[in-house]
Chain A
Amino acid sequence: AQTVTQSQPEMSVQEAETVTLSCTYDTSESDYYLFWYKQPPSRQMILVIRQEAYKQQNATENRFSVNFQKAAKSFSLKISDSQLGDAAMYFCAYRRVYTGANSKLTFGKGITLSVRP
């Protein structure tokens, strides 16, 4: 079974600074997807970024980028120029390549990010 580990329960960053959130996972599969979701105080789950395991290039979405290290099974999220609105819980998630069945997301326990003004 696949597992996702987020070992840091909380992190803090100064506004306008850069922060990196860590995630490791365990799988025996070679192809899969990885995601970061953001959950602000509203509790809505918002997709931040996705990465396809068979792609070497790290995904980037505006101020958000990932460092995907497939051999190390590591998938960290870097937030640049942190803003107050980035304060939220962030979840790392794993999904098998779509097979039509059992394409569930497996989540880590999440990390609470606070942004200091």
Chain B
Amino acid sequence: DSGVTQTPKHLITATGQRVTLRCSPRSGDLSVYWYQQSLDQGLQFLIQYYNGEERAKGNILERFSAQQFPDLHSELNLSSLELGDSALYFCASSPPAGDTQYFGPGTRLTVL
């Protein structure tokens, strides 16, 4: 158990819908990262937050957005879902000035 929690574990929805994925980092970690794992794209970095502020963006679609709240949990919002958004979404956290990222169990999103 890495100490990073993600909910829900599984999500099945339809095209065009909107979903929210939630992540709670390890105690004391200020950085939260979101990654997408799909068969064709592999593991791709989406976005990073540090202590409530957006720090870096990767290959994140405009239909996707994220935020980190004062209690440091983070949410990834996916809207106007398409079949191709079906993937495993990971959240990871790391401590201040830390170099290692610890991953949550992931949320498997299926878009039908």
Could you list which residues of chain A lie within 8 angstroms of chain B, going by C-beta atoms? 33, 35, 37, 42-47, 50, 52, 91, 95, 97-98, 100-110
Contact = CB atoms under 8 A, between A and B. Distances in A.
Interface string B5-17: 0000000000000
Given A100-B55, A101-B56, A109 B42 contact: yes
Interface stretch (B20-28, B73-81, B95-103): B95-103
Bin chain B's interface residue count: 20 to 34
A45 B56 contact: no
B55 A105 contact: no
B64 interface: no
24 contacts: A37-B103, A43-B88, A43-B108, A44-B2, A44-B103, A45-B90, A45-B92, A46-B2, A46-B103, A47-B102, A52-B99, A97-B99, A100-B55, A101-B48, A103-B55, A103-B56, A104-B48, A104-B58, A105-B35, A105-B92, A107-B43, A108-B42, A109-B42, A110-B42
A107 B56 contact: no
Contacts of B98: 98
Contacts of A108: 42
Contact of B45 (A50, A98, A104): A104
Contacts of B102: 47
